[in-house]
Amino acid sequence: MAKATNLGFPRVGVRRELKTALEAYWKGSATAVELLAVARELRARHWALQRDAGLEHVPSNDFTLYDHVLDMSCLVGCVPPRYQWDGGVVDLDTQFAMARGRQVGDVDVTAMEMTKWLDTNYHFLVPEFAADQTFKVSSTKVFDEFEEALALGVVTRPVLVGPLTYVTFGKKAADSVVSNGDLIARLTPVFIEVLQRLAALGAVWVQIDEPALVLDCDEADKAAARGFYDAVRACVPSLKVLVATYFDTLRDNAAFTFSLPVAGVHIDLCRGEGQANTSANDADAVLDAAVALAEGKVLSMGVVDGRNIWRNDLSVSLRRVERAVAALGVESVFVAGSCSLLHSPVDLAAEGKLDEQLRSWMAFATQKLGEIKALSRPRAEIGGELAASDRVQADRRSSTRIHDVRVKARVASLTDDMARRQSPFSVRRAAQRAAIALPSFPTTTIGSFPQTPAIRKARAALKRGELTEAEYSAAMEREIQLVVDFQHEVGLDVLVHGEPERNDMVEYFGEQLSGFTFTQNGWVQSYGSRCVKPPVIFGDVSRAAPMTVRWSKYAQSLTTKPMKGMLTGPITIVQWSFVRDDQPRQMTSRQIALAIRDEVVDLEVAGIRIIQIDEAAVREGLPLRRADWPAYLTSAVTDFGIAASGVQDATQIHTHMCYSEFNTMIGSIAAMDADAISIECSRSKMELLDAFASFKYPNEIGPGVYDIHSPRVPTVAEIVALLVKAVEVIDPRLLWVNPDCGLKTRGWAEVKPALVAMVQGATELRALV
Ligand code: GLN
Ligand code: ZN
């Protein structure tokens, strides 16, 4: 029998209890004591769940109030000076100021930069390293949680973000010459102090997450990491260290990782090269290579996919576990999720409305614990589970709900021309200028306006049957009217309808496309208290009828200014969904590209002259290894082209991307050939624009001039300063003025003054340039 283990469990709770508690605390309607009580209750519940599932290694410190990377920054005392931390234990409010900014009285500090955790939709707060950065133990959270679990009878495996990963994903001050190696060396004594204390408290194993090891790694960084693990071995010899890697295979870092002086290594057996669904052969080869290297170590096998909702094929996985056990011995094999289960929804049992067949194909975090346990047991004991799993797999392979011959035929008949606009940008630009009158530095927004309680109430009432379709429509039209009036009042140039009818930019489309299904409670943490509920793509995708035309048409009827149509692009829909694992992802996004293309053409026919296809998630879908980029990017560019190119030259296509570091893929963004792109820029103080400037990005561009993730209202002066910076690097004739992203998560109280300031900033810029 191998050991059943887990790398991490979702924090938010099956009813998103943590979200409710956090937001009440931030609003001032709950005390810190109340917030911490909810957090404690969630931890206790999740530990019990894992223990009762029979897991032998249950994690602690995987819980966090906001973000586990922020927790690391607090643990090692890496708090930027602007938070005026007193150098003691990092208190709750300092921690939340780092996460969300702070604007009280005359205190006005911005939040730390936030970016996606490798290729997931989970966001972490980017550590900031000053040139003279020092570290010291500054939080007791990891110890407190270990003791808390101990008091409940569970000896947990504390989880820490490893130094290589922490440093790799941090950000150094511009004037800093400090290397990753220097930082790792400075962190080492702090980690050792933490590990010694954990050992003293009774920890046997500790899990050090090093997903940076699945990336292309620098030799000097690897040498520094080895120095760290050597030191740990020397100073805390009694503690068993599991180095956990995930989200891809180790490839050329495998020999290095397995040569570290640690007790065990965790590998992800669910993801593989090219981000295609790992075929049986790939995973077998990866496993064989790992087994050969794992001599004398524990091999932790990530066989249960932590990032998807499909039931495990137990027969396939069990064969792999048996192979490893035969080679290494039962004592040296751990069965685990591929990564932390943080990236899956909590419990399938909370789904009341899923149809039985679809439900029978799925497993959420709670169900995955059962799969992990089953796979740790001898074959003879799990005959029933194996037979049930085989039935599910056979059912999925043969289901007629999955395969649509018309969709497959249409994809097969695609030509190269269909992925290109009719004319080059210069020609289109002239046609668009003639068709759409705009000032220099045109102002616009990214699409959504505040999703007010009234809007959400109307949608809920429609779902409950308390509002008729007609009443709901009328309510949405009133919202659109409000948003249009407001934009007139503020003086924006290109208007939007505000997206009131959209619960979510992916779900809204998924609901109208075939091949999608939805959960009621399948929430996954995105950042802080925010969760997303990804749709599930289970079959071939097609569009039965126009999805957005009526709203855009109505909105355009209220104004003579251009009304921008608003769509979500194929890569983003795939990236923010749970994707079927029975065909390559590229095939799924190609089918969606065709559906979006039809919608773009219908919008044009309805008189919409500017259409934005949001591709917020292109960067996060980028494979982790450079070797895999070309295939992904070529496919993404083609998908965007297919979606965008059904229209005439005079129709202006926009795209929008959030949080992206563009350097690595600027050529592909240019190849997407959107007439205009808006990007998230303000938290990086326009640094992101440099990639566009040095590439001489040829098309129009709107760098975000204020951060919409923080409730903080920007000043006109700040906005002008950012725009002046932008004008220095981008041809002013190509520049748009817009916020970083959509406004749906903000309140009107912030949005109004912020947009007034933005339009004022654009006006001042016009006078300056
Ligand atoms: N159009 C969307 C909105 O404004 C874009 C959101 C996004 O990029 N995440 O909400
Ligand atoms: Zn965005």
The CA distance from 244 to 205, in Å, is 12
Which active-site residues does the annotation give?
A: 709
Ligand 2 (ion): residues with CB under 5 Å are 616, 658, 741
Please state the residue numbers annotated as binding site. 19, 121, 446-448, 499, 530-531, 576, 614, 656, 658, 680, 741
Phi, psi of 695 (to 5 degrees): -80, -10
Q: Which two structure tokens, joined as six digits, stand for 524? A: 């996954």
Measure 589 CA to ligand 1 centroid, in angstroms. 19
Write b or e for each residue in 244-261: b if 16 or more Cβ atoms lie within 10 A of its Cβ, otherwise e.
Answer: bbbbbbbbebbebbbebe
Is the dihedral angle over the CA atoms 396, 401, 405, 409 positive or is it negative? negative
Phi, psi of 116 (to 5 degrees): -75, 145
**56 CB contacts (<8 Å, ≥6 apart)?**
3, 4, 5, 376
Measure 678 CA to ligand 2 centroid, in angstroms. 8
Pick out the chain residues at pLDDT < 50: 274-280
Measure 680 CA to ligand 2 centroid, in angstroms. 7
| Helices 141-151 and 68-75, packing angle to 10 deg | 110
User: Which residue has the CA at smallest separation from atom 6 of ligand 1?
Assistant: 742
Is the dihedral angle over the CA atoms 660, 552, 607, 737 positive or is it negative? negative
Question: Distances from the Cα of 39 to the Cαs of 17, 34, 49, 231, 522, in angstroms?
Answer: 9, 9, 15, 34, 20
Choosing from 526, 612, 656, 745 the residue with most ligand 1 atoms within 8 A of its CB, the one to mutate for a pocket test is: 656
| pLDDT confidence of residue 277 | 42
Choosing from 487, 495, 571, 614 the residue with most ligand 1 atoms within 8 A of its CB, the one to mutate for a pocket test is: 614
| Helices 469-490 and 549-557, packing angle to 10 deg | 50
685-716 confidence digits (pLDDT tens): 888 888 999 999 999 999 999 999 888 999 99
**The complex's ipTM?**
0.99
